[in-house]
Amino acid sequence: MSVSITEAESKILSLLWEQSPLTVAEITAALREKTGWDRHSVISLLKRMQAKGTVCVEDAKPARRYSPLVDRNEARLEQARGLMDKFFDGKPVRMMSAMVQGGQLSPQDIDELMRMLEKAREELKQDETSR
């Protein structure tokens, strides 16, 4: 699914990925302190998200309940691709370079990235030998 997710929408999706379905009241209560949103703001966002196809609503009694329609990992990948295309000319190396140069990576992050890169290299080698 190729849909742009705003910062505000991502807050609601993050909550719904952790626990769903949720009512407007539950979403508002969970996000009010962090965002300052009232019930009307949450309803407005949920309507927009429904139109985009990122959440669905179940007309349950006594209140409607909302669930995510997008997978968390797919949404992350799509948003990362958009960021990479927008700011780094679609080049993963440029994006990672910015993270490294900006001092954003901890030693643990670097170790994990190294493991991921080694695994990706091994998978590429296996793909090449199976052709």
pLDDT at site 10? 94
pLDDT at site 2? 67
Kindly list the domain boundaries of the chain, sorted by start residue.
1-90, 96-131
Taking the C-alpha atoms of residue 102 and residue 33, their distance in angstroms, rounded to an integer, is 30
Would you call 13 exposed, middle or buried from its count of C-beta atoms within 10 A (0-12, 13-18, 19+)?
buried
Q: Considering Cα of 112, then 117, then 118, then 120, what sign does the dihedral take?
A: positive
pLDDT at site 128? 83
Cα–Cα distance list, 78 to 3, 22, 74 (Å): 8, 25, 6
Q: Considering Cα of 4, then 9, then 14, then 17, what sign does the dihedral take?
A: negative
Series of mean pLDDT values for 10-residue runs along the chain (131 residues): 84 96 97 96 96 92 93 91 93 91 90 94 88 72
pLDDT at site 130? 80
pLDDT at site 1? 53
- pTM across the whole model: 0.76
Fold of 1-90: Arc Repressor Mutant, subunit A (1.10.10)
pLDDT at site 4? 84
